[in-house]
Amino acid sequence: MDPAPWDKDEDDKKEDSEVEGPMWGGRDGIIFLIDATKPMFSEGESGESPFRISLQCCKTAMLNKIVSSEQDMVGVILFGTDKTSNALNVPHVTVLQDLEQPNADKIKQLENMLKRKNFNDFTNKFGHSDDFSISDALWLCQSTFSSSQLKVSSKRILLFTNTDNPHAASQHKQHQARSKAADLGQVDIDVELLHMGNNFDPSLFYKELIQSVKGDDSCDWRLPNPSNRFDELLARVCRKDHKKRSVGKILFTLGDGVRFGVAVYNLIRPTFIPRKALLDRTTNEVVKTSIKKFHGDTGEVMLPSELNKYQEFGFKKIIFKPAEVKNLYKLTEPGLKLLGFKPESKIKVHHHLKPSSFIYPEEGLIKGSRKLFAALLDRCIARKVVPICCFTPRTNAAPSVVALIPQEERLDDSNIQILSPGFHVVYLPYSDDIRTLNTESTVKADAEQIAKAKAVVKKLRFPYTPYNFDNPKLQTHWRNIEALALDYNERIEVKDVTVPDHEYMASKLESLAQEFLDSVYVGGYVPGGKSNASGARKRVADPAADKPKKAVKTEAVGDMRDIATNGKVEKLKVNDLKAYLQEQGIEVNRMKKAELVTKVYQHLGIDEPS
């Protein structure tokens, strides 16, 4: 039996997929801890009660989590209820939804609660009570995280309330709450306060509680304004949440044994529609596929170790064993090796081969890596040079020639970091990757056409950021799934932001668009069709083509007024018409014959014959 042919492209795809895999396990866990006392059900200035807004935040966050990171877990716990409903019998605390992955049933439960104009049924089912303890509610949240059977890497509690001093009459409960908050901070559980109400004073109780979680006892510390956070929680965003993790940690070798550690990150990668899963028709369970290979002659099952690959060379099949194929990729050790430096101007846009990566110092590999990395980055920025390196991301990976584009740290007005300092790893092509194109000579635009084009570009400029453009195909896919899962009667419409706003563009351009077209398409040329005049394209290249080659005296055509009176201007040649009008000081550039004839009649004040 012949071995399977060696598909190198398939091996390369496997290598690329290995880089994208997460380096560490774990998932995020969020518990919405909502105040359920009576003040939360009073309608505010917006006409909605704080409790309703809290449930809307829960619902939207779950919808976003299903798309962005379906492995994350969300729970909803209410405190200040008259009835108790939780596994640990914590008084006046109700677990509305356990800490689990969000699904359609949980979202439907929240939707059904939000459909009620008032929450009378909530009062009958759960009731309200002021005899609760914040400490007990936080302890239940901590216990919920601890009892989770799945590993949770990030733990957060979002606390919604409009009561600024819930334990005003009990110093003991206040002390218990602060102690429990400090315990949460020690086990890496973050607490975020989302307070509501214009008269909410966090200094009465919650400021000190949140400070206990953060471990910050500074007098100048202030709670952030929750308005922006509410906007984030209520915003419907169908966008994949890519974990901020490095895809590898390697050594950067400068030469002569000088090395430092760096971590590699993928800042930009295409996002695709999730793979379809095969389901059992009767049970609706996911079906796992299994592939087995059989010997063509004997029918025996072949193990992976018994399979070889081959490459045809000289009409012969050169057979490779799996171990030999693996050794073919072991060209260099993983890491970055400096080859030299080039000026920034030598790196061109057309050198782009595939999405770039980003490197940042990794102190865990070699102590002092940050200082050496910072020194290299500073000198590259100061001298405007780019390191050229050989980059091998991991074992068995093919080496690539890369350019390290330096990026300086950038801060905003609030001294918050916008851009991180580091190097963008731009992959450069090998000589085998370059394609030589036999292009035809193109027509060059003249000064007038360039000026018109500049005016059009200037009018249509806008500040571009990729965060404003969602993939319409992905958005439609997720909204259709959402409509099916939640039993919506109508499909959710998705706005395609990639479609140009022609009305707005026309209002900005006004007559500039037509002027630009008239300057480019001359001689009866129709865009997308054939030119009516054989020399139309040549005229674009020669600005002097619109001028008569030789000035023709008006005497050669007789008295222009007599000709116009007799209605015979149309019988004159274009050059004669241009010569006459130019002598009269009239601009004739880019005019067609019909326009020239009209200009002559208008200049003489004689009606043009119909």
Contact between residue 189 and residue 221 where contact means Cβ atoms under 8 Å apart: no
Please state, as a whole number, how many other Cβ atoms lie within 10 Å of the Cβ of residue 193. Answer: 21
Structure tokens at 55: 């449930």
pLDDT of residue 528: 59
CA distance 445 to 542: 9
Q: List helix spans (H) across 69-116.
A: 104-114
What pLDDT does 55 receive? 94
Phi, psi of 341 (to 5 degrees): -130, 150
E strand segments, 303-384: 309-313, 316-320, 335-343, 357-361
Report pLDDT for 414: 74
Over the chain (610 residues), what is each successive 10-residue block's mean pLDDT? 49 43 63 94 84 92 86 93 92 94 92 86 89 94 91 90 89 92 92 88 89 75 74 75 80 91 89 86 89 89 87 89 82 91 92 91 91 95 95 88 94 82 94 83 85 93 85 86 83 84 90 87 64 45 45 53 84 85 81 85 80
pLDDT score, position 525 = 66
> For residue 429, what pLDDT is reported?
93
Q: What is the pLDDT of residue 158?
A: 94
Helix (H) or strand (E) holding 195: strand 189-195
pTM for the full model? Answer: 0.64
| Exposure string over 474-512, b if 16+ CB within 10 A, otherwise e | bbbbbbeebeeeeeeeeeeebeeeeeeeeeeeeebbeeb
Q: What is the pLDDT of residue 455?
A: 93
- The SS3 of residue 3 is coil
108-141 burial, b at 16+ Cβ within 10 Å, e below that, comes to ebbeebeeeeebeebeeebebbeebbbbbbbbbb
Q: Which domains does the chain have, with CATH numbers?
A: 25-234 (3.40.50.410), 335-433 (2.40.290.10), 443-543 (1.10.1600.10), 547-610 (1.10.720)
CB 560 within 8 A of CB 554: yes
The three-point CA angle 603-605-609 to 5° equals 105
**H/E segment holding residue 421:** none
DSSP 70: T
For residue 366, the 8-state DSSP code is: S
